[in-house]
Amino acid sequence: MRKHPFDVTAFIWGLLFLTGAAALLLDEYVHVSFDPKWLLPAALVTLAIGGIASSLRQMGK
């Protein structure tokens, strides 16, 4: 089985979803104050960072 290339965009989205899930679990069980209105801006920033990283990676080829 050959090794596939590292996908920056998928990695960043995975971190975003993991962070969101962890924040929601903490809010549910530990009663830490969490405001879900920050999820959409965080998703948009993550998408922008992934797009920039992807375009810079393609420029280097």
- Side chain identity, residue 53: A
Interval 17-59: pLDDT, tens: 888 888 778 777 887 676 778 777 877 888 888 778 877 777 7
pLDDT number for residue 32: 65
List the domain boundaries for the chain.
Answer: 8-59
Flag whether pLDDT at 61 surpasses 80. Answer: no
Interval 4-18: pLDDT, tens: 788 877 888 888 888
Residue 60's pLDDT band (cuts 50, 70, 90):
low
- Side chain identity, residue 20: G
What are φ and ψ of residue 50, in 5° steps? -65, -40
Closest to 12 measured CA to CA, from 60, 45, 36: 45
